[in-house]
Amino acid sequence: MFRATTPDSAKILDNSPGRQPASKPGPLAGLTIIEMAGLGPAPLAALMLSEMGARVVRIERMASGKAFLALPPEHDLDRHGRSILKLDLKRPEGIALVLRLLEKADVLIEGFRPGVMERLGLGPEESQRRNPKLIYARMTGFGQQGPLAGRAGHDLTYLAYSGVLHAIGPSDGKPVPPLNLVADYGGGAMFLIAGILAALFETSRSGKGQVVDAAMVDGASMLAAPFFSFMAAGFWTDRRGSNLLDSGAPFYDTYRTADGKHVAVACLEPQFFAEFAKLLPLEQRFAAAQYNRSMWDGMREAITRRIAEKTRDEWAALFENTDACVAPVLSFSEAPQHPHNLARGVHVKAGALERPAPAPRFSRTPSATAAPPAADEATAAVLERLGIAPDDIEALAKAGIVGR
C-alpha cells in the first residue's frame, strides 16, 4: 500500500553525503568535542552532536579494532561525522597529546568504567587543570559511585535495576527486552546530550567547566518518573500487563491481522475510542463501556476477532484518515517507504547507508547527515586544526605515538 515516491528532502534538511565540510552547519557550529572511542550510547551522542554542527574528533587506540559488532566503515555510525585520531595511549607521550588537545576542546566524552580515565592520567582533575572551562562528560551504566559502579552491564542490565524491565511484557509472560532503546539510547545517549548542553549553557555564564555524570540506570529511572507518580496516585500497579499503557487495556495494544501482521490500537481518549468503535465496528455494549474494567476481557476478544478478519494494510487504509489512533506495525524495512515518512524525509541515504535523518530539526541552522570519515584525511590535518605544530606532528608520527 505504500507509495515509494521520492520526497523533495533537500528542502527539508541537507542530507548530502560526502566529506565533512571545513565549516559545518548546525546550531553547534564552532563547538569542539574530543570523544574517547567506545561502544553504545556515548558514540550515538557524539554522532548527534556532530550532526548538529559540532566538530568531533574521535580518539582510538593505535591498531584498535572492534571485537564486537565490527561493521563495514560505510555502515559504522560510531565513526561517522568525526575526524579519527589513532593514538598510543600506553605511552606518556600519547597521554600528553590528549591533554594538549583538550586545551582546545569544549567537551570531552568518555564511556569507560569508573577509574579508567584516571589511571590513564586523563581524569577530570588533570584535564580541567589544562582547560578550566572543559565540560567533562562521563557515560556509564551505574554512575561514578555506588556499590555497582565498577560492574559490567548492558541495556537490559540497567533496565532490570531501574524497574522498567519488570513493567514491559505480557501479563502471562516474562519481561521483554525493548531492544536497547530505553537504557542505552534513551536513558544514556539522550541524557548525556542533555547534560552536555546544560553544562555548556552554565559555562557560558560562569566561565567554569564541570563533570557530567550520566548513568544509564539513572536515565532509565528518570524516564519512568511518570509511572512512579501513577503508582503513588493509585493508577498503576506493579503487576505487568494489567495497566493502561502496558497492554492491560484492550484499546492500547497490538492485534494480529488476517495476513499474520499487526496493527497498533491506541485510542485512549473517549472521543478517539468512539471513532475506533464506530469504524471497527464494536458492539455498543463495549463501545459504551471503555473504562469499565469488568468489560475488558470481552472487549479484547471482540477486537481480536474483528481485527483478524482483514489484512494489516486493509485496516491501515480504513483508519489512516481518522483520529481512531490505529496504525500499521511497520518493520524497519517498511518504515522508510511509508508516505508520511517519505514526505518528511524521515530516512535518508548517506552513501551506502539508508538511515534515519538527523533530529530534531532547526529552522535557521539545519543539521547535516554525517558521512563516514574521509579515507584520505591525514592525521596531520586533524592535529593542525587542533593547534598542534607541524614539527610536533612529524615527531609524534616518527615516534609511533600517532598513526599517519
Residues designated as active site? 154, 184
311/259 Cα distance (integer angstroms): 5
236/191 Cα distance (integer angstroms): 26
Name which of 163, 159, 149 is nearest 179 in CA terms.
159
124/146 Cα distance (integer angstroms): 19
> Which pairs count as long-range contacts for 7-13, CB under 8 Å and 24+ apart, including other chains?
7/342, 7/343, 7/344, 7/345, 9/345, 9/348, 9/357, 12/344, 12/345, 12/357, 12/361, 13/345, 13/357, 13/358, 13/361, 13/366, 13/367, 13/368, 13/369
124/144 Cα distance (integer angstroms): 12
Residue type at 334 in one-letter notation: E
Q: Which grid cell sits at 49?
A: 552532536
* Bridge partners, 328 (sequence order): 263
In angstroms, what is the C-alpha Rg of the chain? 25
226/141 Cα distance (integer angstroms): 22
| CA dist 237 → 227, 245, 332, 339 (Å) | 9, 11, 32, 39
Q: Which grid cell sits at 179?
A: 531492544
Sign of the Cα torsion 244, 232, 162, 180 reads positive
Q: Are 43 and 35 in contact (CB under 8 A)?
A: yes
For 402, list phi and psi in degrees, rounded to 5.
-125, 150
For 215, list phi and psi in degrees, rounded to 5.
-120, 135
Q: DSSP letters of 6-65?
A: PP-GGGT-B---SSPPSS--STTTT-EEEEE--STHHHHHHHHHHHTT-EEEEEEETT--
